[in-house]
Amino acid sequence: MKLSTLLITAAACLSVNGSPTPLAIRAEDQIPLEYRCHWSSIHASLEAGVRFFDLRYAFDPTDTDLVFWHNEALVSQRSSVQDVLFAFWDWLDAHPSETLLLSFMYQGRTKVGASHGAAVQSRLFDILTSDVANKYFLQERGDLGNLGRARGKAVLIRRFTLDRLDPSFDAALPGLHLAEGWDDNGKAIELVYNTTTGATAYIEDYYTPEDLPENATTVQNIEAKVNVTAAHLEKAATEAPDSLFITFASGGRISANPPVYPETMAVGNGTNVSPNGGVNHQLVPVLGSLKGKRKGVVMLDFFEEPQDLVELILDL
């Protein structure tokens, strides 16, 4: 079931592979282990079938332009938010039957004194409403639409509010507003993004099993994440068929002893510390049991392993 063949299906009914902070524009071995969550560049991710991108922005260290961060880790000072969007637009030009979902969220804790202030919000607004952005972002508000309208476009997922600007700025942005009520580390989040139609997004964002003791083993942390993720995937396959489901299979537990880094959580560490592999491996039978059913957006760290993972999500 390729995305490009579903021309009149509501976008919320699709199964889409996603990747958090997939910007391999800085040598991966320079990024601390707690922030490494991918092996592939944006282009390679797109070519592999990734269509949902979780993008975290803030000012660069000189407060000159918006760039991407992963918590305190600067992804690249040379590639701005606008530069990366141009890369997405170029890819859409080459793949006009495809649709992207681009989620934007302000990254806090990047540096001392940084905030989601008026200057950051004004710059973001200018980027997202430029002439070229208006050409590629689907100009619907509170509606995913269908693939017939969304082909060759990107749907803006707004995990931010322009609350330091006049309300007219926020009202002018297209896309789905999912900023309010997104519970931190939530296992079952429900956000109404269209109060007129009642359209709701169902989200699992249990990114760290902090309800386990800190001396919980790596296996126990992985199992906790797998159980919550599998339950949400099964819910996506069986409930609210016209709704948007977003399931984060990614995560970590840095505070554990020993730490469970995102790579270990996703694919294990190749030793008897994780004998059954990571979340990605343990989701294979779950996804196999849901073959032919809607899974929604599935966010993965290190989506390349195991090899058939993306195909299982997309039912290829």
pLDDT at 31: 73
pLDDT at 37: 86
pLDDT at 29: 54
How deeply is 90 buried, as exposed, middle or buried, from its count of CB atoms within 10 A (0-12, 13-18, 19+)?
A: exposed
> Domain spanning 1-8+15-179 has what CATH number?
3.20.20.190
pLDDT at 34: 87
Please give the Cα distance from 165 to 148 (Å, whole number): 34
pLDDT tens digits for range 31-80: 788 888 888 888 999 999 999 999 999 999 999 999 999 888 888 778 89
Phi-psi region of 251 (alpha: psi -120 to 50; beta: other; left: phi over 0): left
CA 40 to chain CA mean position, Å: 15
The predicted model gives 196-205 an average pLDDT of: 97
pLDDT tens digits for range 94-131: 999 999 999 999 999 899 999 999 999 999 999 999 99
> Domain spanning 181-316 has what CATH number?
3.20.20.190
pLDDT at 41: 87
- CATH 3.20.20.190 domain residues, the chain: 1-8+15-179, 181-316
